[in-house]
Each structure stands twice: as structure tokens, then as C-alpha cells.
């Protein structure tokens, strides 16, 4: 597994990371790891999450879309 060193982080950013880590009962290292994993998740996981969110949308027909296009128009 690789190691990443980040230099010259602003003190205020470090304090925010520490506070967030403490609130989640994690180390600052784990907090950053989770932030990176969330931001740069696997493409397949991202696609799965998007597809799952689409399942929550109501069924829409072509007729519905056509009526929305003309809604509010003379």
C-alpha cells in the first residue's frame, strides 16, 4: 500500500480536519482516507449509486414529458 505526504497544509484546514475526525470518532488520518475514498470512489460503485438513486424517481411517460414541455405556454 502506498504512502502519501502532503506538505504546507494551512493550520485552519488541519483544525477543521481534526474537529471532523473527532466528531466521527476517527483519527485525522482515517478522516482524510475516508474523504479521499468518497471523492475518488470506484467508477463501478459510482455508477451503482447513480442507478440506485434513479430507482427513487417516479415513473415518467412520454406523455408526461410532452405535457411538461407545453405547461405554462400559450
Residue 7 domain-assigned? no
Domain, as residue range, for 66: 17-70
Residue 65 domain-assigned? yes
Residue 4 domain-assigned? no
> Quick count: other Cβ atoms within 10 Å of Cβ 42?
9
Mean per-residue pLDDT over the chain, rounded: 90
Q: What is the pTM of this model?
A: 0.57
Q: What does the block give as the cell for 24?
A: 466521527
Query: Residue 22 pLDDT > 90, yes or no?
Result: yes
User: How many domains in the chain?
Assistant: 1
Measure the CA–CA gap between 31 and 40, rounded to whole angstroms.
Answer: 14
Contact 28, 21 (CB under 8 A): yes
Query: Residue 14 pLDDT > 90, yes or no?
Result: yes
What pLDDT digit, counting tens, does each position of 26-42 carry? Answer: 999 999 999 999 888 88
Amino acid at each position: 500500500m502506498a504512502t502519501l505526504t502532503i506538505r504546507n497544509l494551512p493550520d485552519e484546514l488541519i483544525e477543521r480536519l481534526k474537529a471532523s475526525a473527532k466528531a466521527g470518532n476517527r483519527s485525522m488520518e482515517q478522516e482524510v482516507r475516508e474523504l479521499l475514498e468518497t471523492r475518488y470512489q470506484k467508477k463501478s460503485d459510482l455508477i451503482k449509486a447513480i442507478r440506485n438513486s434513479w430507482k427513487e424517481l417516479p415513473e415518467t411517460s412520454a406523455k408526461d414529458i410532452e405535457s411538461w414541455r407545453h405547461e405554462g405556454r400559450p
